[in-house]
Amino acid sequence: MERALAVDLGSHKGERVYLQGWVHTIRKLGEVNFLIVRDRSGLAQVVMSSADMKPLAGLQSETVVRVEGEVVAAPSAPRGYELHNNTVTVISPVTEPLPFPINKKEITANQSVFLDHAVIGLRGPRERAVLNLSAGIMRGFRETLNQRGFTEIQTPKIVAAATESGANVFAIDYFGQTAYLAQSPQFYKQIMVGVFERVYEVGPVFRAEPHETIRHLNEYVSLDVEFGFIDDHFTVMALLTDLLRGILAHLAVAHVDDIKLLGARLPVVTDNVPHIHFHDAQQMLTDRFGVTDAIGEPDLSPQHERLLGQWAQNQFGSDYLFVTGYPMIKRPFYTHPDRARPEYSNSFDLLFRGTELVTGGQRLHLYPDYVAAAQARGYDLKPFETYFETFKYGMPPHGGFAIGLERFVMQLLELDNVRMATMFPRTLNRLTP
Amino acid sequence: MERALAVDLGSHKGERVYLQGWVHTIRKLGEVNFLIVRDRSGLAQVVMSSADMKPLAGLQSETVVRVEGEVVAAPSAPRGYELHNNTVTVISPVTEPLPFPINKKEITANQSVFLDHAVIGLRGPRERAVLNLSAGIMRGFRETLNQRGFTEIQTPKIVAAATESGANVFAIDYFGQTAYLAQSPQFYKQIMVGVFERVYEVGPVFRAEPHETIRHLNEYVSLDVEFGFIDDHFTVMALLTDLLRGILAHLAVAHVDDIKLLGARLPVVTDNVPHIHFHDAQQMLTDRFGVTDAIGEPDLSPQHERLLGQWAQNQFGSDYLFVTGYPMIKRPFYTHPDRARPEYSNSFDLLFRGTELVTGGQRLHLYPDYVAAAQARGYDLKPFETYFETFKYGMPPHGGFAIGLERFVMQLLELDNVRMATMFPRTLNRLTP
């Protein structure tokens, strides 16, 4: 006899099979007990007499069991089949009650209690679906890029110098020397454009930002892309649009159940995702939305982003809006300036439902420009030596972007906190589990 | 006019196209110059008169160019086509000679010089092929596991407590608190078996081992697998065998050129990969190979592994050999003992061409067993609290393994140092580039 999965019961109609999984719920209706078993494929209904239930006496939900029985059609059961005439064997008993129930429609524990017991809480069907969608985003990301000639890279996370400004890095003792955790694979992905032209990386990044917000984590997964032979940041925006389409198409096909369970609204990527220049965005916020704190600022506030997101929705029916040309002063030194208006950059943010999801742009590609840009900001050139060597020896015009995986999940599912979009969040006050 | 890739010239016969890439080599034969341009797809030959060459006067190899010309059949050119009647435009000039040539059959710079300038050295066709194969291994790994119902996870790299023994961990200052870099995702992948049953992770792990060897890195990429509802470690070994077959099949199809360029011998995974118990291996080493330092030791030495690898090759024609049942004393506390002989474990190493490539086994799955095992080793239970909670609330028999990506590449390609199997190695004395 082979193990059957909950989802496959229908293909074994009339046969005896066995399931393995966790006791998700037991419901008693008079003399009949409905045992709901959860395995990796989903939930299965097992109909048990009181005598059948004996092995489970005194045990709690999450007990791991083997249930052998006969597959019977039952319109009211999940996917139309259930098990009858069963034998239950306990594999791993659970004797203590759970810290909170995970078999209700939603887990009602408060967030801090939930996170303390995430090792159990993540077994909840909704929580599991969130993480499954997260896996689907990574898969859609890689498959779309693989089809477009990109090569996957894995770059070091322990680095000798801070990637960008030197602020907000975690320091490590590396055999008596101070090293740092990489804030992004930025330098390495650019270097690897010299090797493969088109690269991507999915990996952890570390930001020692000493504040707690609903949309920041101190360690998160960054989906990084970088590629060469571009015209300018519009080439990068076109790839990003294409990539988002690829990811969402993958989710729509491979994650139907997760999307349904979570009631997620998959966004539509319109034929031409609208874009607006930073300067024009500030002007419009002021003239049209009566905002008084935009013009003169080098960045947009979260409230500005929300207003712009609503505008994109109303005006273009788009969940996405590119804001281009952020002031150079707010962008890292390797950002390529707009040749026509050098105070603005060839960079962009992608707003998704009114919140920044992706940052990207064109980078400098000529060695003298790197030296000049670093010097103009008063940086010591020494830590950049090997990075700059890349540009001394021939680099094409190139650019790229980074998508924060958890932020993407959060906004896709309209979660109210990025902590609920990851398995074990790392924040200012949370280092466990 | 669309950009053509080197590999696609043949599909544009008779047309004018343009290439973009790096000047790999220039060979002068009398009046004719052969400009070899490298792009992400490979090398293309461009036939140039001396007049055509003017834009490249004084410039070095690795200069980035655009070459427009006519595609002409030429049996002696790579893949049978070359460009004639060309116009070269310099995109990014290189004016300084490279630290070492990267356009010869092999890069002859010594390893330390090579690694200092890896940002350029990795552009060499062999070096590039090594990293491309590495990407292929990751892809084959994920695709094989996706087909078998596994879910990808991304677990925290900043952790509150050392994963295993507490030795050899890098410490981090986490907002004034001491945290550590994860030595492996072991605890997290087990926890996630409770959620998804079958999980994998591809990500960095960190080992603060203060010594330099040809087969160790202080940061490397671990291909981790963990899954539930196993019988014992033989179920795990069967999955690993199946996975290796999947990875190698992917390489054989998708990496023909890399394998050819590198002269790699892809191993054959025989129908039944041979296995030998640790106890019997020591006995055989002693009785048959005259080894005097095996019996009584709790582990195999590298020399023992080499001898066993040769034996597997001679006896079974297998590049692989499982050694099972390592002594409990040498395995982490969460290892499941062999019920019949509790001094031995339900664990294994997989030797590949006589060197350990994979370590794995069955884990404990019952809460009381965890408490007892940790106490027997004198561990403080406090740091394990959330990890142990997983087992309190129902875990099936489970197991898994970890493959070191760089080690796999090294042994697959028979490289003499693991540093040549990764882009930017981190070792005791190397933290850059």
A62 and A159 assigned to the same domain: no
Which among B152, B171, B219 has CB closest to A158? B219
Which pTM does this prediction carry?
Answer: 0.97
> Is there a domain that residue B106 lies in?
no
Q: Do A102 and A118 touch, CB atoms closer than 8 A?
A: no
B351 and B232 assigned to the same domain: yes
- Whether pLDDT at A333 is above 90: yes
> Is there a domain that residue A81 lies in?
yes
What pLDDT sits at residue A78? 86
B334 and B409 assigned to the same domain: yes
User: Which residues of chain B make contact with A62, given a CB cutoff of 8 A?
Assistant: 393-394
Encode pLDDT of A239-269 as tens digits: 999 999 999 999 999 999 999 999 999 998 9
> Is there a domain that residue A106 lies in?
no
Model confidence band, residue A45 (pLDDT cutoffs 50, 70, 90): very high
Model confidence band, residue B428 (pLDDT cutoffs 50, 70, 90): very high
- Please give the distance of CA A30 from its chain centroid, rounded to a whole number: 45
Name the one residue in this structure whose structure tokens are 């989802």.
Answer: A7
What pLDDT sits at residue B164? 61
User: Measured between CB atoms, does B20 come within 8 Å of chain A?
Assistant: yes
Question: What is the average per-residue pLDDT within A3-17?
Answer: 97
Contact check, Cβ <8 Å, B210/A175: yes
User: Measured between CB atoms, does A336 come within 8 Å of chain B?
Assistant: no
Model confidence band, residue B165 (pLDDT cutoffs 50, 70, 90): low
User: Measured between CB atoms, does B101 come within 8 Å of chain A?
Assistant: no
Residue type (1 letter), A12: H
B144 and B262 assigned to the same domain: yes
> Is there a domain that residue B396 lies in?
yes
List CB contacts of A290: < 8 A, sequence separation 6 or more: none
Question: What is the average per-residue pLDDT within A306-320?
Answer: 96
What pLDDT sits at residue A162? 74
A37 and A155 assigned to the same domain: no
- Whether pLDDT at B163 is above 80: no
Contact check, Cβ <8 Å, A156/B426: yes
What pLDDT sits at residue B171? 94
Q: Do B81 and B74 touch, CB atoms closer than 8 A?
A: yes
What pLDDT sits at residue A163? 63
Encode pLDDT of B338-350 as tens digits: 999 999 999 999 9
Q: What percent of chain A has pLDDT over 90?
A: 95
A276 and A336 assigned to the same domain: yes
User: Which residues of chain B make contact with A192, given a CB cutoff of 8 A?
Assistant: 122, 423
> Is there a domain that residue B111 lies in?
no
A80 and A146 assigned to the same domain: no
Tell me the C-alpha distance between A431 and A414, whole Å: 25
- Whether pLDDT at B382 is above 70: yes
What pLDDT sits at residue A164? 61
List CB contacts of B241: < 8 A, sequence separation 6 or more: B269, B273, B320
Contact check, Cβ <8 Å, A170/B158: yes
Identify the CATH number of the domain in which residue B18 sits: 2.40.50.140
What pLDDT sits at residue A270? 87
Contact check, Cβ <8 Å, B119/A389: yes
User: Measured between CB atoms, does B375 come within 8 Å of chain A?
Assistant: no
- In the DSSP assignment, the letter for residue A268 is P
B278 and B228 assigned to the same domain: yes
> Is there a domain that residue A317 lies in?
yes
Encode pLDDT of A137-196 as tens digits: 999 999 999 999 999 999 999 999 876 656 799 999 999 999 999 999 999 999 999 999
A305 and A226 assigned to the same domain: yes
What pLDDT sits at residue B166? 60
B61 and B163 assigned to the same domain: no
Contact check, Cβ <8 Å, A170/B173: yes
Contact check, Cβ <8 Å, B158/A142: no
B64 and B136 assigned to the same domain: no
What pLDDT sits at residue A95? 97
Which among B63, B116, B203 has CB closest to A204? B203
A61 and A178 assigned to the same domain: no
Question: What is the average per-residue pLDDT within A293-307?
Answer: 96
> Considering only residues 411 to 430 of chain B, which have any Cβ-Cβ distance to chain A shorter than 8 Å?
422-424, 426, 428
If one counts the domains in chain A, the total is 2
User: Measured between CB atoms, does B107 come within 8 Å of chain A?
Assistant: no
> Is there a domain that residue A153 lies in?
yes
User: Which residues of chain A make contact with B383, given a CB cutoff of 8 A?
Assistant: none
User: Measured between CB atoms, does A128 come within 8 Å of chain B?
Assistant: yes
> Is there a domain that residue B431 lies in?
no
Identify the CATH number of the domain in which residue B347 sits: 3.30.930.10
User: Which residues of chain A make contact with B178, given a CB cutoff of 8 A?
Assistant: none
Structure token pair of residue B61: 């190899």
- Whether pLDDT at B78 is above 90: no
Domain boundary among A34, A69, A92: A92
User: Measured between CB atoms, does B112 come within 8 Å of chain A?
Assistant: no
Domain range for A76 is: 6-92
ipTM of the complex: 0.97
Structure token pair of residue B94: 């290189």
Q: Do B105 and B84 touch, CB atoms closer than 8 A?
A: no
Mean pLDDT of chain B: 96
Contact check, Cβ <8 Å, B394/A152: no
